[in-house]
A and B are shown apart, each in its own frame.
Chain A
């Protein structure tokens, strides 16, 4: 039986994924220095969320500074068309690339 208290539970910021499978997202165009884990060839490219990776993990870019702490955020497996990534891609137009990206790098389209 669902009590009103149970259905009123409100998750905190970042407790739930912000994106759903099938959402169109864009990788941020920013260019950090120091450390990052989102390759430059993806920056600014639009893709589709293929899978939400459970559970959420710490931000591996912050982990590079040895904090072993910080907010956990969701990672997503995002699919990109090869023809969107590379000018003059020579394979099949159906070819794609999938990669895991942390939520803080993704923007809703």
Chain B
């Protein structure tokens, strides 16, 4: 492949993603991805259907799943205790499979503890139940700082935790993934499970913000 000055110009700004124009020829790494995949298929290691199927799996995993788990835990105390004892089994009760064969620990926020999730070594994330992580979760500033100055990181998300509440950071490094069970907002006592699920955001289940009654969430 001929050297292309355009590709070199990209090396310094990898955190930014320029607008993609779809008539552009595929880039070097996209070509590499196609070539690796086609070689593995030609040699019989994988099939096109394997990839197609897994893309459908990925597309089916979104924060709405985690929100459904949280809303169920808020409204069903027996489910909540099973979920806290074994997060994966709790999610599996609702039909959420753990395709990556990870375990899940659900971390309950309370009056005295606020949980925050990070993966300092890479980008471990509860993908089966939240989908793929946001860019900032995978980049250095969040990964480097969340373990040493979690309160400053939280403040950047607008979350101020009182000093008498423990901030508990979970660094995910191996076979366990984490999901924060946020506190249920006051004033939602008569809400349905479905309405409650509509309040629960991805970021609240990572632990960077609380669940609040915003305009979008009002019944």
Contact = CB atoms under 8 A, between A and B. Distances in A.
Whether chain A touches chain B in the assembled complex (some CB pair under 8 Å) = yes
Interface of A: 37-39, 41, 51, 53, 57, 60, 75, 77, 82, 85-86, 89-92, 94-100, 102
Contacts, number: 76
A97 B175 contact: no
Interface string B164-177: 11111111111110
A95 B168 contact: yes
Nearest to B115: A98
B166 A96 contact: yes
Given A91-B150, A92-B163, A92-B164, A60 B174 contact: yes
Contacts of B167: 82, 91-92, 95-96
Contacts of A99: 170-173
Interface residues of B, number: 24
B103 interface: yes
B166 A75 contact: no
A98 B148 CA distance: 13
Given A75-B174, A95-B169, A96-B166, 6 more contacts: A51-B105, A90-B151, A91-B167, A94-B166, A99-B170, A100-B173
A39 B173 contact: yes
Contact of B149 (A53, A90, A94, A100): A90
25 contacts: A37-B173, A41-B147, A41-B148, A53-B103, A53-B176, A77-B176, A82-B167, A82-B169, A89-B148, A90-B149, A91-B151, A91-B163, A92-B151, A92-B163, A92-B165, A92-B166, A92-B167, A94-B164, A98-B168, A98-B169, A98-B171, A99-B170, A99-B171, A100-B172, A100-B174
